[in-house]
């Protein structure tokens, strides 16, 4: 299973690729909307992370995500549940 630091790095990499800009100062406490990431871009980021990790995050869980840490923890939970 990936730890939170690895998932944070993955988020930064995928977000940079999708949004075509770097996110060097992102932390687990960073609020997604404060990063200038809109909902459509966020869905693309989540989709790429799901595909890469071979997981699926239920849509009802996505509404609970406000920080990068929320997303990383949700991804970590899904990884544990399929392990």
Q: Is the pTM of this model over 0.85?
A: yes
**CATH number corresponding to 4-82:** 1.10.1200.10
State the pLDDT confidence band at 83, using cuts at 50, 70 and 90. confident
3-state secondary structure of 31: strand
- Domain-wise residue ranges, the chain: 4-82
CA atoms within 13 A on the CB side of 78: 21
pLDDT tens column, 10-65 = 999 999 999 999 999 999 999 999 999 999 999 999 999 999 999 999 999 999 99
pLDDT at residue 1 tops 70: no
């Amino acid at each position: 299973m990936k730890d939170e630091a690895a998932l944070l790095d993955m988020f930064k990499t995928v977000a940079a690729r999708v949004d075509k800009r770097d996110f060097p100062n992102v932390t687990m406490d960073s609020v997604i909307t404060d990063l200038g990431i809109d909902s459509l871009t966020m869905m693309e980021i989540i989709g790429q992370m799901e595909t890469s990790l071979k997981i699926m995050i239920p849509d009802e869980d996505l509404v609970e995500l406000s920080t990068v840490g929320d997303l990383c923890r949700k991804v970590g939970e899904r990884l544990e549940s399929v392990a």
